Amino acid sequence: MAEEKKEFWRWPEYRRTVPGKDWKGAQVITAGVDVGSVSSKTAIMVDGELYAYAIMRTGSSSAGSAEKVTNWALEGTGLTIKDIHYTVGTGYGRVNVPFAQRAITEIACHARGANFIWGPTVRTVLDMGGQDCKAIQCDSKGKVTNFLMNDKCAAGTGRGMEVFADLLNVPIEEVGPRSFEIDEEPEPVSSTCVVFAKTEAVGLLRAGWPTEKVLAAYTAAMAERVVDLLNRVGVEKDFVITGGISKNIGVVRRLEKRLGFQALPMKPEFDPMIAGSIGAALFAKALYEKGQ
């Protein structure tokens, strides 16, 4: 019997409508559409409050993905794209959002979104996305004051983690928890490059290391890499993490240990992957009101 290869990298796509919220009688309905290289996210905001959102994998076309994820976010709400007063596109595919009135960089949107989610005390935002990693400094209004980005190399990105989940046959959501099922914290994997780290990991498995210990060594290496980036831009409290990797406690705990302090905890009502699209929807509201 042929057996299908399980896709260990695959993370769940989902949508949510915030309970107890209604758009009827609202002044302004805005959308933030964040088309990343790996995932696409849409946040729908009603009078500046989160109403619904959706997260899915980006397909081969940015425009198609933008439309699909936005329609999904609106599913069951009675709203259609035409009912949205103003849409801002952001992320890697931000200029290819056909129904957006404006495109704003994801750096600005993540800072703005983090300010909304965690409040005005946030000064440093680490966004660990699918194909890049950004360290952003911002002021009490969520305005960017400085940033650094790695978008050249898969080390420290979600894509790198997907590759590892597949290599080690560990569902991507279990990577974090399982990386702590070890007797002793190993040295981080020494290769920065994901391709070479894969070879190194296979060598460690052959040498008899349990999968969990290899996961610990890899998530530690990823944390090390990201801390380098953070230290170059400077980390000031409060510190928050957005993007898909912020859900991986294996990376987050090891990163906090190296930094010497903790990130603010995730807010259960906001998925950290939608920080950029929330920021975009907030910019959309401001732009819409300015135009009125």
Chain residues binding other proteins by CB under 8 A are 37, 60, 131, 152-154, 159-160, 163, 191-196, 199, 206
Q: Which is nearer to other proteins, 190 or 231 (CB)?
A: 190
Q: Which is nearer to other proteins, 198 or 253 (CB)?
A: 198
90: exposed, middle or buried (Cβ count in 10 Å: 0-12, 13-18, 19+): buried
The one-letter amino acid code at 14 reads Y
Nearest approach in angstroms of CB 164 to other proteins is: 10
Can you name the residues that pair with 42 across neighbouring β-strands? 33, 54
Nearest approach in angstroms of CB 152 to other proteins is: 5
C-alpha separations of 107 from 11, 104, 150, 199, 222 in Å: 24, 8, 12, 33, 21
Nearest approach in angstroms of CB 221 to other proteins is: 13
Nearest approach in angstroms of CB 192 to other proteins is: 6
- Using the Cα atoms of residue 128, residue 130, residue 133 and residue 135 in order, give the sign of their dihedral: negative
Q: Which is nearer to other proteins, 200 or 271 (CB)?
A: 200
Nearest approach in angstroms of CB 146 to other proteins is: 24
CA 160 to CA 169: how far, in whole Å?
Answer: 14
CA 168 to CA 84: how far, in whole Å?
Answer: 43
Nearest approach in angstroms of CB 155 to other proteins is: 8
Q: Which is nearer to other proteins, 77 or 157 (CB)?
A: 157
Q: Which is nearer to other proteins, 154 or 172 (CB)?
A: 154
**Per-position b or e across 135-172, b if 16+ CB within 10 A of its CB:** bbbbeeebebeebbbbeeebbbbbbbbbbbbbbbebeb
Q: Which is nearer to other proteins, 228 or 256 (CB)?
A: 228
Backbone φ and ψ for 24, nearest 5 degrees, come out as -70, 130
